């Protein structure tokens, strides 16, 4: 991201929390606003230039932020353990407080990747009249064995390789970001986490994308969204892993621009197997 970061202050979990955010093309006052919600190890910096490329291609405005515990936002306390409902709390508590803090008074489009996609779905489910539409990339709606297995591999890599150094480029406190995410996903009760029943209350248009070679989940994830929210369009992307915006950025950009401009139409490049 080449845009300078700003900071918003919210009160959350009994303490003052600052949230790092950046705006893209705010001068396009009449353009759709896309809010980018990062993955479980992401941040503003982790998106790199993708939000700017997408907003430029579509003529959109953008709002990118780092959730508490990530990037340059307030880190997680060393003894703070996130519980099974951590994504619900992000969707129901942090996101509304952040929007209020920055004075957001319009319906944004939420663009969420992985955990950020799940949080986007949960926000649209709880606040169905507050969202123009959703674009979710590789979201989770329930926990699969393949997800847990690869998150365990990530734990081993964090302990045994230079992964902390590499990940530290994107976070002021890399242990806060990694262990907050990793411990809750490997917490045995989290295996029962499931948001399928909450998807039926989503009213806005939904575009759900996933790589056919996603190492963190099967296509049952996005197909399950379409089963419960029939206004969902699916894009299943060949030669693509867990991060379509990194593995196949042009496909993600073209599909998103087409969807935002015509949410009731067809999406180019739709692949259903």
- pLDDT tens by residue, 87-115: 999 999 999 999 999 999 999 999 999 99
Q: At what angle do helices 50-58 and 249-261 cross, to 10 degrees?
A: 40
Q: 273 pLDDT exceeds 80?
A: no
Does residue 272 lie in a domain region? no
- pLDDT tens by residue, 34-46: 999 999 999 999 9
- Taking residues 240-244, what's their average pLDDT? 98
User: For residue 266, what pLDDT is reported?
Assistant: 66
Does residue 209 lie in a domain region? yes
Quote the pTM value.
Answer: 0.96
Q: How far apart are CA 176 and CA 103, in angstroms?
A: 28
Q: Are 101 and 53 in contact (CB under 8 A)?
A: no
User: For residue 269, what pLDDT is reported?
Assistant: 44
- pLDDT tens by residue, 24-83: 999 999 999 999 999 999 999 999 999 999 999 999 999 999 999 999 999 999 888 999
Does residue 267 lie in a domain region? no
DSSP H helical ranges for the chain: 50-58, 86-89, 95-101, 115-126, 145-160, 163-167, 174-185, 220-228, 244-247, 249-261
Does residue 172 lie in a domain region? yes
Q: How far apart are CA 21 and CA 147, in angstroms?
A: 29
Total domains in the chain come to 1
Provide the greatest CA pair distance for the chain. 49
CATH number of 11's domain: 3.40.50.1820
The alpha carbon dihedral of 181, 86, 212, 258 has a sign of: negative
Q: Are 208 and 225 in contact (CB under 8 A)?
A: yes
Q: What does the mean pLDDT of the chain come to?
A: 95
Does residue 53 lie in a domain region? yes
User: For residue 76, what pLDDT is reported?
Assistant: 94
Pair of tokens at residue 135: 């674009």
Q: How far apart are CA 251 and CA 255, in angstroms?
A: 6
DSSP labels, 212-243:
TT-TT--THHHHHHHHH-TTEEEEEETT--S-
Tell me how long the chain is.
273
Structural domain of 207: 6-261
Does residue 143 lie in a domain region? yes
Does residue 211 lie in a domain region? yes
End-to-end CA distance of the chain: 35
- pLDDT tens by residue, 141-167: 999 999 999 999 999 999 999 999 999
Q: 268 pLDDT exceeds 80?
A: no
Q: Which helix (H) or strand (E) holds 64?
A: strand 61-65
Pair of tokens at residue 186: 């490997």
Does residue 92 lie in a domain region? yes
- pLDDT tens by residue, 188-207: 999 999 999 999 999 999 99
């Amino acid at each position: 991201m080449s845009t300078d970061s700003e900071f918003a202050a919210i009160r959350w979990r009994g303490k003052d929390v600052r949230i790092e955010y950046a705006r893209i093309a705010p001068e396009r006052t009449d353009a759709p606003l896309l809010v980018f919600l990062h993955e479980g190890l992401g941040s503003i910096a982790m998106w790199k230039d993708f939000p700017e490329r997408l907003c430029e291609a579509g003529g959109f405005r953008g709002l990118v932020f780092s959730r508490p515990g990530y990037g340059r936002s307030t880190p997680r306390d060393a003894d703070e353990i996130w519980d099974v409902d951590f994504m619900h709390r992000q969707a129901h508590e942090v996101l509304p407080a952040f929007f209020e803090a920055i004075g957001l008074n319009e319906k944004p489009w939420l663009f969420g990747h992985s955990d950020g996609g799940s949080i986007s779905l949960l926000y649209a489910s709880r606040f169905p009249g507050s969202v123009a539409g959703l674009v979710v990339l590789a979201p989770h709606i329930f926990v699969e064995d393949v997800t847990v297995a690869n998150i365990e591999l990530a734990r081993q890599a964090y302990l045994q390789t230079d992964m902390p150094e590499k990940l530290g480029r994107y976070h002021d406190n890399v242990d806060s970001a990694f262990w907050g995410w990793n411990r809750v996903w490997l917490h045995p009760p989290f295996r029962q986490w499931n948001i399928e029943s909450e998807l039926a209350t989503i009213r806005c248009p939904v575009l759900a994308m996933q790589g056919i070679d996603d190492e963190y989940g099967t296509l049952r994830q996005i197909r399950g969204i379409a089963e419960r929210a029939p206004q969902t369009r699916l894009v299943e992307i060949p030669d693509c892993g867990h991060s379509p915006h990194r593995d196949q950025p042009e496909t993600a950009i073209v599909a998103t621009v087409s969807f935002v401009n015509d949410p009731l139409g067809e999406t180019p490049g739709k692949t259903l197997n």
